[in-house]
Amino acid sequence: MTETRPLRIGNCSGFYGDRLSAMREMLEGGQGGQGGQSLDVLTGDYLAELTMLILGRDQLRDPALGYARTFVRQLEDCLGLALEQGVKIVSNAGGLNPAGLAARIGEIASPQGLSPKVAYVDGDDVRSAAFPGALTANAYLGGFGIAAALASGADVVVTGRVTDASLVVGPAVWWHGWSPTAYDELAGAVAAGHVLECGCQATGGNFSGFRLVPNPAQPLGFPLAEVSDDGSSVITKHEGTGGVVSLDTVTAQLMYEVQSTAYLGPDVTTRLDTIELSEDGPNRVRISGVRGVEPPGQLKVGVTVLGGHRNSVDFVLTGLDVEEKAAWVRAQLEAQLTAASVSWSLGSLPPPDADTEEGSSTVLRCTVQDPSPEPVGRAFSSAAVELALASYPGFTMTAPPGSGTPYGVYRAEYVDRSTVKQAVHHADGSCEVIP
């Protein structure tokens, strides 16, 4: 592939649970008319740190799961449209089970008379190799596996844990033919990918300048990038969609979830202090000047373990003597609890003489955690409920406490690259190992 025009790459998901209709919107928004801009590749990010825990628990129940099921629903609706338009779909929705997701896509395609070439990338799962006690342990892979899959003609590429930016880096590598040492170009694509990875956070969502976002009732459009062969890019969105792309919305996303002036990744270390932004017309922001250097020798691994079980209850406290009321119910409940950890937080004290009941009220939250489910389950909820007629005046709760829920703990670890065997499984069944 020796195209020199910019790669047009969109995003239709920033997390597992994002707007279901976004895949269709991004495909249809690129169809002619209204100045729409067709896409070459449509990406979706489904894997937050927390998501691996959710998928890990899914897979404990059913080993065939472990992928983002909403992505399957989106493809059921949109696969035909994407194939007709020639838009490649690239997503990390494979989660803990990219092979299972690839197979599932085949199952939904054939009843529609479709036969997409589906490739998947794996090798990120290092649980058995390095973290046997963990619920999940997945190395953050780069974009070269995705690039190899696209180079072999895949219509759909699904992966496990890759960095969020890899979903843009991989297609850009494929499109422009960059080498693994084209660090400045790769860093430029990382910057574009980092802006796109959180969906509408690039177009006015979660944005402190929200008062300038036009037409509050219109859904925010999802972002897209035009990535040039020198790695520079323009961030924009389909014409006529809601929201705004401005210097500030792009800056917001570049500042998000970074931990230094160097953004470490598997393919390149991106120098955030070299990024230059400029306006390039309405709802268009250019990213240029991005410099990259050699990536770290080790790969980051997201490790999750089952931490225990938790539960919480919110008591509503109203009127006079709020602190004394809190102290009494706290003393009563704590005497009944056996959970390993009990924590309390009291909301703002209500003002005196408030003229509404709500204004005269505040919330006292009790949160419990324990390695085993029983102390935070019925033992906790019953102890709270049994105080209903036997505690402070005006006792009420925002909702009765439910059964406890398991929780996990996330931590970052690092492994040598030799621990990770990234592999692309092409549609024809062949397997290609990525060095």
Partner 1 sequence: MKAPLGWFVHARSGDKGGDANLGLWVAHDGVPTDTTAERYDARVAWLLDLVTPDFVRTLLPEAAALEVEVFALPNLGGVNVVLHGLLGQGVAASTRFDPQAKGLGEWARSRYVEIPEDLGGTP
Question: Which positions touch partner 1 (CB under 8 A)?
Answer: 49-50, 53, 201, 206-209, 211-212, 246-248, 251-261, 272-277, 307, 310, 312, 341, 343, 345, 367, 369, 407-412
Closest separation between CB of residue 61 and partner 1, Å? 17
Closest separation between CB of residue 118 and partner 1, Å? 31
Contact between 424 and 431 (Cβ < 8 Å): yes
**Distance separating alpha carbons of residues 150 and 164, to the nearest angstrom:** 17
- Give the nearer residue to partner 1 in terms of CB position, either 54 or 227: 54
**Distance separating alpha carbons of residues 58 and 93, to the nearest angstrom:** 14
- Give the nearer residue to partner 1 in terms of CB position, either 43 or 304: 304
Closest separation between CB of residue 423 and partner 1, Å? 28
Closest separation between CB of residue 272 and partner 1, Å? 6
- Give the nearer residue to partner 1 in terms of CB position, either 19 or 117: 19
Give the DSSP letter of residue 349.
Answer: P
The token pair at 390 is 């036997």
**Per-residue b/e over 12-51, b at no fewer than 16 CB within 10 Å?**
bbbbbebbeebbebbbebbeeeeeebebbbbbbbbbbeeb
Closest separation between CB of residue 299 and partner 1, Å? 16
What CA–CA distances, in Å, run from 53 to 42, 135, 288, 326, 341?
A: 26, 7, 36, 34, 21
Contact between 249 and 203 (Cβ < 8 Å): yes
Closest separation between CB of residue 21 and partner 1, Å? 23
- Give the nearer residue to partner 1 in terms of CB position, either 50 or 130: 50
Closest CA to 429 of 79, 118, 148, 159: 118
Closest separation between CB of residue 289 and partner 1, Å? 8
- Give the nearer residue to partner 1 in terms of CB position, either 116 or 401: 401
Pairing of strands 88-91, 7-11: unpaired
- Give the nearer residue to partner 1 in terms of CB position, either 404 or 408: 408
- Give the nearer residue to partner 1 in terms of CB position, either 48 or 148: 48
Q: Which residues contact 218 (CB under 8 A, 6 or more apart)?
A: 241, 242, 243
What CA–CA distances, in Å, run from 307 to 135, 373, 375?
A: 10, 11, 14
